[in-house]
Amino acid sequence: MTEFWGRVKEIFFDALDLEPEEVPAFLDAACGDDPQLRAAVERLLAEDEQSGTRLEPPWDRLLEKEVGEGATKIDTLGDFDLLREIGRGGRGIVYLARQRSTGRRVALKVLDRAARVDPLQRERFRREAVATARLDHPGIVGVLEAGEQDGIPFLAMEFVAGTSLADELRQGPAGRLFGSTDEPRVVIAARCVARIAEALEHAHSRDVVHRDVKPQNILVDARLEPRLVDFGLARDLAEITITLDLEGTPNYMSPEQIAQQRLLVDHRTDIYSLGVILYEMLTGTRPFAAPTAAQILHNVTSLIPKPVRRLAPDVPIDLETICHCAMAKRPSDRYRSAGGLAADLESFLAHRAIAARPPGPIARATAWADRHRVACTVLLLLTLVLGGILLQPVVAHAMAAGELAGRLDAAAVRIAAGELPADL
């Protein structure tokens, strides 16, 4: 596959993860002044939209034309019969499959054709299998089997009949999560995030950091319970300290991930991402949304989000405090553990006191200064100018008084020496 088509593929799948209104600005930034590149991506997006499903993805059809590969349909992998495609992302395809030896239905994840020849993508796939195999928690979709057949790596996972949290957020009251109960939105959000925090605490206790916690990677099952999936970017804590790369989804990446501060990227990066999800569930907006990925990255590292209650006044103060504590810019200001975040959310739900505290006066002043940097600069300059004007008479008076005192001291010395009469 040529470099051109590799770039088309990358931009196409990145665009699929965006809201429709975000795509034009994203393509402006991603394609730049290359009309051929943009036209190819837009053609793929149009075909994808017209197809209604991705059972016959347009990317595969174009890839076949480009590299001359015939369409090799996969019916079985190992002990699994593939039934139908149920999902697709930038690197892999997920099928509903049946395990022949047990008869149970599973979600079978495989790398797509282009990713199979990419060593980095194969390593990520291996990493996901290894990381998830170490975990056993009801809030994490478990891995049942990992293998490879005819050069095709596959990962068999529990099949979760449901939708992603991203889909539920888009549907709002019309969806299952928010529309099937009379419970307040704040209660649903707090409970959902608490469950994922408990799952992350389990992962962190086994030295696994997810690094890509986002609504698309949270499934809502038939019982409306959230389940965390996709550990493709997961890292062992020991590996993170020696790894320098920019991986994740911009809207949910922590400041230290973006700044590539490798010594600071630990379990607290997942806590930050979960705080962003809580913010979105409470306010209906992403805290640092912008037309382009570059702007989002800048906002995450440079801006302070608007207070939750300014956008959603019905949110209780304690829940706002929990959210902003999880989203603190500095890792040291966040919850020390995902378990601590879960405990505070459970305290909120039980109407008990929470451990987190709102920021003090100094922190609030710093936050205000971060949000109004231009105003602060102007205010400082005005203070210096006005201060200089107001102090000028005082300084002049002090200088005159000092000069007079010096002259009197000199006269006293001359009188003592007999150079001047004492009754002068």
Mean pLDDT (whole number) for 77-87: 90
| Gap between the Cα atoms of 194 and 67, Å rounded | 47
Does residue 420 register a pLDDT over 70? no
Mean pLDDT (whole number) for 285-314: 93
> At 174, which amino acid appears?
A
Q: Which residue has the tokens 């079978």?
A: 108
Task: Provide the pLDDT for residue 3.
Answer: 65
Please name the helix (run of DSSP H) or strand (run of DSSP E) that holds residue 192, with its range, or none.
Answer: helix 185-205
| Burial (0-12, 13-18, 19+ Cβ within 10 Å), 238 | exposed
Task: Give, in order, the Cα–Cα distances in Å from 40 to each of 8, 27, 59, 80.
Answer: 7, 11, 10, 35
| Gap between the Cα atoms of 223 and 163, Å rounded | 11
Does residue 184 register a pLDDT over 50? yes
Q: Give residue 368's pLDDT band: very low, low, confident or very high (50, 70, 90).
A: low
Domain residue extents for the chain: 1-68, 73-159, 163-371, 375-424
Per the prediction, the chain carries an average pLDDT of 82
Q: Give residue 75's pLDDT band: very low, low, confident or very high (50, 70, 90).
A: confident
Mean pLDDT (whole number) for 68-78: 64
pTM of the model: 0.70
Task: Provide the pLDDT for residue 66.
Answer: 42
Going across the sheet that includes 163-164, the strands are 163-164, 218-220, 226-228
Q: Any idea which residues carry the catalytic annotation?
A: 212
Q: Give residue 115's pLDDT band: very low, low, confident or very high (50, 70, 90).
A: confident
What does CATH list as the number for 73-159? 3.30.200.20
Query: pLDDT (tens digit, 9 = 90+) per residue, 122-134?
Result: 888 888 888 888 8
Say which CATH topology domain 163-371 has: Transferase(Phosphotransferase); domain 1 (1.10.510)
Q: Nearest 10 degrees: CA dihedral of 62, 64, 65, 68?
A: 160
3-class DSSP state for residue 172? helix
Going across the sheet that includes 143-149, the strands are 76-77, 80-88, 92-99, 105-111, 152-158, 143-149
Does residue 424 register a pLDDT over 90? no
